[in-house]
A and B are shown apart, each in its own frame.
Chain A
């Protein structure tokens, strides 16, 4: 989906789906904005890692999945968890450490998990969830369910051992898993060229005998198309794929990082390629009225505001709850 290609006019049936992608990206953007704002107010403890700028990867990839599929992601995982359909208010509640939060307040911003929608977990040790993703995919193969697992991780994860062990095992066992690398150019504070000897991370797939593809991660339709093709291969028993989605972290690594290490002009370049902006422009070119485009944004803003209000009113967990959930049975 080249940005120079003008889209064909969308039919009435196609419009809701395309607007929904825009709404979903706005929802994540507003959610992250509120998390950043409320961190400053002390409602978010510890730290939080915002994914503003990377919404097209989360939404595009998760919309290529079907019911019964599953997903794992990183500590920068609010977007992917919301894209799977986790309720906004319970996500906020978890980030704020409230009892009705997704994990009862035991996980926090870095561990959003909602098994009801196949969001199997956000992981805060770089690369640690890739072996776990293989396990979810293995279950699908073992029981023949036809389910596929999508695993998100950052560019920095491709330098940790678990990445290599996981791609190797997934390939030899032909596990139905799609590895989605969100290459946002920085591993925490370090620019990729200072930590990684190759420029194209998708090339690492060759070492494990699987297809590797680099795509524009800021174009939601391009992401959806690439992931859908990988999902189809996985369901057909053809094994895993590595997709490198080029994108950009509009904020720093975490809430305490002002990202002053970025070269001058880089942020502005990427702001001009903001995934929400790109899709809104695409929709307009496809013949969708500006009023509908604005309505998608307004719907997301209102849903986030209402969810935030609910979550802020929720109580903190009772101290006694700290003893629960270590064991199933003791």
Chain B
């Protein structure tokens, strides 16, 4: 790929491009949700899409999250590939029955009679001052429900690649775009690659400590890794990119080499993907560890509003670096 064909693309621009390309590729794909059409999306991720594809394929809905998710399920059962948006990931709570009891279980309960190629796009994550009900890393709520794939892209390329893979996947995929990354830029080719669901990215190679992080925390962990490199500590940073399916093998192989594990996430510890990963590493790789696995997490409180409080709540590069050094010093 020559440099001339690359275009600087933001994370939200990559989401927009992925939706456009998915609609262009398959007439069975339709895109709908609150304000996705005429308004171009609450975060402007869908600007221009309704103009291009029309009101038949890009539809504005009432503020009715149950109706949105249910409609996706019914349409998917009949052979369409719905791409739904429920704006903020926190609103998963409003549609929880449709997601947890219907979308995730329908195929199983019917003995495999149906397939549900549903993608639900939403904006997640903190750091932007949206307060307790619009800032959560809600993907953690869904980990205990077999039947849902969870995509958590951290870069424009991954946002594009995972969105395309999600829409083309025959199972339900929940796609969490991180609000704090919407303006992150990256050069993308005209036709960026799909990203296979369940394939982690090794963001930075190293032999001292394995650090695992997604989305905003991946960027802060990279910042920490660069600072530690100056002190001669080589961090291996891995981004799982999807929580279900989860690429345990890549992380386990890294831990086998580094013998240290630090997991960073943007949600309290209980019932989270980070806690699950640490439990599995401890159970399956106990003898490979030179130190207790560390989980860097926010405290057990709702996400606070004030800038000073939210900054204190979210793990930052310094906290991550401290956890890495503590692991090495154990």
| Chain A residues within CB distance 8 Å of chain B | 70, 72, 101-107, 111, 113-115, 120-121, 123, 125, 128-140, 142-143, 149, 161-162, 165-166, 168-169, 172-173, 324-330
| Residues of B in contact, count (CB < 8 Å) | 42
Closest 9 CB pairs of A and B: A135-B74, A131-B70, A104-B111, A103-B111, A139-B78, A328-B170, A325-B112, A165-B67, A165-B64
- Inter-subunit contact A132/B73 (CB<8 Å): yes
18 sampled A-B residue pairs with Cβ under 8 A: A103-B113, A106-B109, A107-B109, A107-B111, A113-B113, A132-B70, A132-B74, A132-B77, A135-B73, A135-B75, A135-B82, A136-B77, A142-B80, A169-B67, A173-B59, A328-B115, A330-B171, A330-B245
- Inter-subunit contact A138/B113 (CB<8 Å): no
- Inter-subunit contact A125/B171 (CB<8 Å): no
CA distance A168 to B65 in the complex (A): 12
Contacts of A327 in B (CB 8 A): 107, 147, 171
Assuming the contacts A327-B171, A329-B171, asked whether A106 and B78 have C-beta atoms less than 8 A apart, the reply is no
Contacts A115-B110, A136-B77, A162-B66 aside, 17 further interface pairs with beta carbons under 8 A come to A107-B109, A107-B110, A111-B109, A111-B110, A113-B114, A115-B114, A120-B77, A121-B114, A123-B102, A131-B74, A134-B70, A135-B76, A138-B71, A139-B74, A139-B79, A165-B66, A166-B66
Q: Does B46 sit within 8 A of A, measured CB to CB? A: no
Contacts of B78 in A (CB 8 A): 70, 135-136, 139-140
Chain B nearest Cβ from A69, distance in angstroms:
11
- Inter-subunit contact A102/B74 (CB<8 Å): no
- Inter-subunit contact B146/A326 (CB<8 Å): yes
Contacts of B170 in A (CB 8 A): 328-329
**Among B64, B108, B171, contact of A106 (Cβ-Cβ < 8 Å):** B108
- Inter-subunit contact A138/B74 (CB<8 Å): yes
Q: Does B231 sit within 8 A of A, measured CB to CB? A: no
Q: Does B69 sit within 8 A of A, measured CB to CB? A: yes
- Inter-subunit contact B111/A102 (CB<8 Å): yes
Chain B nearest Cβ from A206, distance in angstroms:
18
CA distance A140 to B71 in the complex (A): 12
Assuming the contacts A131-B69, A326-B147, asked whether A104 and B112 have C-beta atoms less than 8 A apart, the reply is yes
Q: Which residue of A lies closest to B61 (CB)?
A: A169
Assuming the contacts A120-B77, A139-B78, A165-B62, asked whether A132 and B102 have C-beta atoms less than 8 A apart, the reply is yes
Contacts of A325 in B (CB 8 A): 107-108, 110-112
CA distance A212 to B25 in the complex (A): 41
- Inter-subunit contact B72/A106 (CB<8 Å): no
CA distance A137 to B106 in the complex (A): 18
